[in-house]
Amino acid sequence: MFASLARRIVYTLPIMAGVALVCFLLVHLAPGDPLVSVLPPDASEDLRQQLIKLYGFDRSLPEQFLSWVWRALHGDLGTSIASGRPVAAEVYKAVGNTLMLAAVATLIGFFFGSLFGFVAGYFSGSWVDRVASLLSIVGVSVPHYWLGMVLVIIFAAQLNWLPATGAGPGGSTDWHWNWEHVQYLILPAVAKSVVPMGIIARTVRALVAEMLAQEFVVGLRAKGLTDYGVFRHIVKNVAPTALAVMGLQLGYLLGGSILIETVFAFPGTGFLLNSAIFQRDLPLLQGTILVLAMFFVLLNLVVDLVQGTLDPRISRA
């Protein structure tokens, strides 16, 4: 068990190093001026050179990379060029908000995705299957930012039932789990949940249909198990894969859909990335991408370990 855990942790180290290098290079190799947020384009070249030196952009890329990694290892992701605030605090706060939104969206997606998937798989080939499959295809296909805008137009602008934007009446730092605040989560969470819902539904449907065709199900029925008993066995067999897909979807949602969070002005990582990209705020961009990528790597590790616990054959493989 410990050997397996240690092996998997060791596997993640080169991935993390690679992620750090790629996210550093990506933001530095993109065209544009890293000082665009603090230096108007009409500023003189003298002033530009002065600031390049003050911000350390005159150093070589390897030098900048090593210094950034060294500080990151000590928990310091630098200071945002645009806002002057520490990147780590900005990113962790945004991650917290996105985590909350992603968790709610994943729960919605997982619940409805599993429901549609099981129903479709169990009644494979029937009209119930076709309706459930149609809903899952719609979920996968519909652009979620478009759906977000439609939801805002209907439920905020026209009906005035739910707020259009933001993360609570006083901002996300003032969050409480009551209706006054939770209503701000509903529209973005629903808009975000449609893709995972569709993907989970399709996965579960395929797995359930496949399981039902297997001999062990016939064996279980022959032993006199009720439908509920058979269903429990199928759930147990489907769960590891469904969980893995859910984990990946949660990771995907944690990436903070830039479009959804921008449409709803929701202060998560997507909103932060959008801001960092438009202001070309390199430390903020690097820090956000790094934290998200690390989160994704760690989430995969956790999913691997949970899968192994649920199905010991996986950890032995």
Q: Under the rule (CB under 8 A), what is the footprint of other proteins?
A: 31-33, 35-48, 50-51, 54-55, 79, 81-86, 90, 93-94, 149, 152-153, 156-157, 160, 163-167, 170-174, 262-265, 267, 271-272, 274-275, 278-280
Cβ distance to other proteins smaller for residue 79 or 203: 79
Cβ distance to other proteins smaller for residue 9 or 265: 265
CA distance 49 to 66: 23
Instruction: State the distance between the two ends of the chain, measured CA to CA, in whole angstroms.
Output: 12
Cβ distance to other proteins smaller for residue 47 or 302: 47
Write out the two tokens for 218: 């016939």
Min. distance of Cβ 69 from other proteins in angstroms?
Answer: 21
- Helix (H) / strand (E) containing 139: helix 127-141
Contacts of 276 (CB under 8 A, 6+ apart): 80, 82, 284, 285, 288
Min. distance of Cβ 240 from other proteins in angstroms?
Answer: 39
Cβ distance to other proteins smaller for residue 81 or 303: 81
Cβ distance to other proteins smaller for residue 193 or 269: 269
Min. distance of Cβ 97 from other proteins in angstroms?
Answer: 9
Min. distance of Cβ 128 from other proteins in angstroms?
Answer: 36
Min. distance of Cβ 38 from other proteins in angstroms?
Answer: 4
Cβ distance to other proteins smaller for residue 136 or 269: 269
Min. distance of Cβ 249 from other proteins in angstroms?
Answer: 24
Nearest to 112 by CA among 242, 231, 304, 268: 242
Min. distance of Cβ 49 from other proteins in angstroms?
Answer: 9
- 186 to 3, 140, 190, 193, 264: CA distances (angstroms): 43, 19, 6, 10, 11
Nearest to 217 by CA among 233, 228, 206, 240: 233
CA distance 170 to 181: 9
CB of 192 closer than 8 Å to CB of 113 = no
Residue found by looking up tokens 């039932």 in the block: 161
**DSSP states of 219-286 as a string?**
HHHHTT--HHHHHHHHHHHHHHHHHHHHHHHHHHHHT--HHHHHHTT--SHHHHHHHHHHTT-HHHHH
Cβ distance to other proteins smaller for residue 146 or 216: 146
Min. distance of Cβ 150 from other proteins in angstroms?
Answer: 11
CB of 266 closer than 8 Å to CB of 165 = yes
Cβ distance to other proteins smaller for residue 55 or 123: 55
